[in-house]
């Protein structure tokens, strides 16, 4: 006589959870000591996270686990003489990646959003990614930007598009050479359920507490 066992599993984007054992079947990719030998103090502060099979403290319905695997695409609406708007992106723990604006690569994402809000509306689309995707994005973005910024041939959308294509988020950057076109693509991805969250920031916004809390992971990691 053969015995068949039914296994109930739920897939939480990156890991499967077992309904029987009430545990995840693979370990949390973020460990107490990273590949560079650095200790993650956030994990030490919460002993429950030392069990690598209890991803998001074993409660992914209640908690979000920003583990360095997200890219936030920021669309800035047209304003004044700029009829095309602007497009940039933040990478978790790596800051803002924007071409054609005053910010240095990898500088404060929060400061970038606050300055943009002084003269335009912005929409932030957060995409779940892997560490490999984050690295591919930053490498491709820097390479495209190194060719020189040009409004007519290598603008903010072209440079960001190169990074998003390398990360597998954008499929055809050559056809999306304007910020508004990439924004439309982001909206379509949101409709398809590929975006984990969307944050709208109005010009002149004064309420930053909730926004900072939600998007603080995109600020550069403090050494």
Q: What is the pTM of this model?
A: 0.70
- The two three-digit tokens of residue 54, written as one number: 């209890």
| Closest C-alpha among 177, 182, 215 to residue 198 | 215
Sheet with 9-12: list strands edge to edge.
9-12, 15-18, 23-24
152-173: pLDDT as tens digits: 789 999 999 999 999 998 876 4
Quick one: average pLDDT of 47-68? 52
Give me the chain's average pLDDT, please: 77
pLDDT score, position 178 = 85
pLDDT tens for residues 75-96? Answer: 999 988 888 999 999 999 999 9
28 or 10, greater pLDDT? 28
Range 128-131, long-range pairs (CB < 8 A, 24+ positions): 128/13, 128/14, 128/69, 128/70, 128/196, 129/69, 129/70, 129/71, 129/167, 129/169, 130/69, 131/29, 131/68, 131/69
- At residue 125, the pLDDT reads 93
Most confident of 31-45, 48-62, 170-184: 170-184
Concatenating the DSSP letter of every residue in 65-131 gives ---S-EEEEEEEPPBTTBSS-EEEEEETTTEEE-SSSSSPTTB-HHHHHHHHTTT--EEEEEEE--H
């Amino acid at each position: 006589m053969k015995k068949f066992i039914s296994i109930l599993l739920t897939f939480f984007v990156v890991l499967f959870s077992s309904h029987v054992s009430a545990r995840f079947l693979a370990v949390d990719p973020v460990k107490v000591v990273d590949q560079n030998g650095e200790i993650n103090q956030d994990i030490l502060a919460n002993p429950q996270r030392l069990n690598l099979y209890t991803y998001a403290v074993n409660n992914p319905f209640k908690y979000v686990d920003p583990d360095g695997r997200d890219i936030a695409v920021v669309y800035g609406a047209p304003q004044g003489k700029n009829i095309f708007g602007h497009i940039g992106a933040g990478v978790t723990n790596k800051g803002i990646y924007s071409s054609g604006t005053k910010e240095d690569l990898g500088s404060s994402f929060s400061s970038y959003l606050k300055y943009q809000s002084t003269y335009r509306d912005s929409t932030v689309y957060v995409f779940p990614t892997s560490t490999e995707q984050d690295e591919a994005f930053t490498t491709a973005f820097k390479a495209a930007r190194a060719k020189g910024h040009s409004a007519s041939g290598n603008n903010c959308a072209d440079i960001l598009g190169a990074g998003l294509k390398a990360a597998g988020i954008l499929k055809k950057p050559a056809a999306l050479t304007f910020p508004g076109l990439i924004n439309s693509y982001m909206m379509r991805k949101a409709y398809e359920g590929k975006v984990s969250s969307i944050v709208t920031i109005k010009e002149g916004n004064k309420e930053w507490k909730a926004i900072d809390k939600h998007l603080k992971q995109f600020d550069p990691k403090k050494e």
